[in-house]
Homo-oligomer: A and B are copies of this chain.
Amino acid sequence: MDSEELRNAGLKVTTPRLKILTLLEKSAERHMTADTIYRLLVEGGEVIGLATVYRALAQFEAAGLITRHHFDSGQTVYELERGPHHDHIVCIRCGRVEEFYDKVIEERQREIAASLGFTLSDHALTLYGECNSQDCPGRQG
């Protein structure tokens, strides 16, 4: 249950936090901006403040429940942490986001950091390209 997740994260269980967490879990779109989350909740009839959404997201991130990404569009999107680490590939036409994990790249990164005198603690890898989804506006045919 979501209450458990919050308690385990050391956060007080409150109605707004549960609403946000539930939305993140149920939503088909896994990468959302704070404003999108806020709007979806309000449109769904919930009473919640935008500031609360930002506050909760910051706390969720600090607790490791969600991850924050800065794709090239410049906007900040949040993603629920589920399953193991992965990176992203974003379609530059339709914005679709796919996830992937590559052992080779992960290992190389650690080696590179070490060779430069860094202790690797995190990384952000995003590929950009054109997808061939049926719905992608830039698709030929």
Residues from 1 to 26 in A contacting B, C-beta threshold 8 Å:
none
Segment with Cβ contacts to B, from A36-44, A48-56, A102-110: A102-110
Residues 69-93 of chain A, each 1 if its beta carbon lies under 8 Å from chain B, else 0: 0111010100000000000010110
Known: A70-B70, A102-B112, A116-B100. A123 touches B121 (CB 8 A): no
Q: Does A57 contact B (CB under 8 A)?
A: no
**Number of chain copies forming the complex:** 2
User: Is the pair A125, B128 in contact by a Cβ cutoff of 8 Å?
Assistant: no
- Please report whether the interface of chain A is mostly helix, strand, loop or mixed according to DSSP: strand
Listed residue (A74, A117, A132) with the most chain B CB atoms within 10 angstroms of its CB: A117
Determine how close the nearest CB of chain B comes to the CB of A91; give it in whole angstroms.
7
Q: How far is the CA of A126 from the CA of B124 in the complex (A)?
A: 5
Q: How far is the CA of A117 from the CA of B105 in the complex (A)?
A: 19
Q: Which residues of A contact B (CB under 8 A)?
A: 68, 70-72, 74, 76, 89, 91-92, 98, 100, 102, 104-105, 108-109, 112-113, 116-133
